[in-house]
Amino acid sequence: MWCKRADMIVHESDPYNAEPPRAGLHETLTPADSFYVRNHGPVPQLDAATWTLEVTGLVAEPVRFTLERLREEFAHHTVTATMQCAGNRREGFLEVRDVPGEDPWGPGATSTARWTGVRLADVLRAVGVQDSAGHVEFEAPDVSEIADPPQHYGGSVPLSKALADEVLLAWAMDDAPLPAVHGGPVRVVVPGWIGARSVKWVTRVTVRAEPSENYFQATAYRVLEPEADPDAAGPGDGISLGPVALNCDILAPEPGQAVGTGEVRILGYAHAGEDRGVARVDVSADGGHSWQAAELGPEPSPWAWRHWETTVDLAGPGPHTLVARAWDTTGACQPESARTLWNPKGYVNNSWARVRVNQAGDQG
């Protein structure tokens, strides 16, 4: 039975949406009770013994798999991968304008686990993919009232990604059965892509010529133009999100924390999806005027975040604004301000991380 950590930040109870506090993200692997949860409808309670997966569409012949059959017919693989919601760090847009929903996501809509299952590629090749295939759609039995019209949750990835070694149909998280809230009995894991494509409770995989027409692929999870009306946006509008953009945040100290004078330890995470890696993280203790390189922790896998840490010298009187920014393996750096990234649905805030701390004794 899965239990959430006591201090989980619950954004919504029904459907259940929650992120851990910064303190819940200090470890390379995020414990299941701290792992963020993003749902669009009630959590389906599926029985692993009766769960089936239909693989259909542009295939040689549709096949229905039980979990037992998946486990027996295909090699098992484990991938350490970071999930990240496209709305991670949305609260940073509040400095620009109001964003959709109350109490927007902070820096905790991202977490990392070891996922175990079978390669989607192995299953697709066993079933046989037709030459006209271009995309692979995943569908779940949950019904989302958020969608217009209400519908099952779904989404797709291009065939080239679906056939990549790292994409799994996973039944285990950190070597334990996948909890229902995290997609059990079986979910898709698409490392390097926004969490929305790692469809939970997957019961149907459809090979298609074109991307999914599901609301959460065609309309949601899209970066609209700055002045667009999100309520008027329809299928195909905006930039469809897929691979995860370079991002980082500060995990300690906490915003508003009273810190001592002298050296203060600062740590955080950084992540870049798909073919990019985190190459350097800079930290500033003076709001971004001067920088020092943080020490990068090990890369747990090509598909996971990297933690980083360093100490900064807070010599003068507070408050101080600590800033962090990551550089990726293309030599690109995060943009400075959420102001320049504003989009009406509040996605991909990958601006520099800022945490204001007080010096011990301050009232500010």
* Site for a second copy, rule CB under 8 A: 86, 223, 225-227, 239-246, 273-276, 279-280, 282, 288, 290-291, 293, 325, 327-337, 340-341, 347-348, 350
d(CA 15, CA 297): 35
The kind and range of the H/E element at 293 are strand 292-293
Tell me the closest approach of the beta carbon of residue 167 to a second copy, in angstroms. Answer: 14
- In whole angstroms, how close is the CB of 243 to a second copy at the nearest point? 5
Q: Which two tokens stand for residue 44?
A: 């389906």
Cβ 351 to a second copy shortest distance, Å: 9
Q: Which is nearer to a second copy, 136 or 172 (CB)?
A: 136
Q: How many CB atoms lie within 10 A of CB 321?
A: 14
Smallest distance from a second copy to CB 222, Å = 9
| 147 versus 323: smaller Cβ distance to a second copy | 323
Cα 324 from Cα 270, distance rounded (Å): 10
| Minimum CB distance to a second copy smaller for 32 or for 133 | 133
Considering the complex, state which of residue 10 and residue 293 has its C-beta at the smaller distance from a second copy. Answer: 293
- Min dist. Cβ of residue 153 to a second copy (A): 20
Q: Which is nearer to a second copy, 205 or 245 (CB)?
A: 245
Which runs of consecutive H residues, i.e. helices, occur in 128-218?
159-162, 215-218
Q: Quick one: DSSP state of residue 20?
A: -
Query: SS3 for 156?
Result: strand
Residue 111 beta carbon to a second copy: minimum distance, rounded to whole angstroms: 19
User: In the bound complex, what is the minimum distance in angstroms from residue 136's beta carbon to a second copy?
Assistant: 17
| H-helix or E-strand spanning residue 208 | strand 204-208
The Cα 343–Cα 217 span in angstroms is 17
- Of 178, 224, 176, 177, residue with least CA distance to 199: 178
Give 126 or 333: the residue with its C-beta nearer to a second copy.
333
- How many CB atoms within 10 Å of residue 265? 11
Cα separation of the two ends of the chain: 43
Which residue, 67 or 157, is less far from a second copy as judged by CB? 157
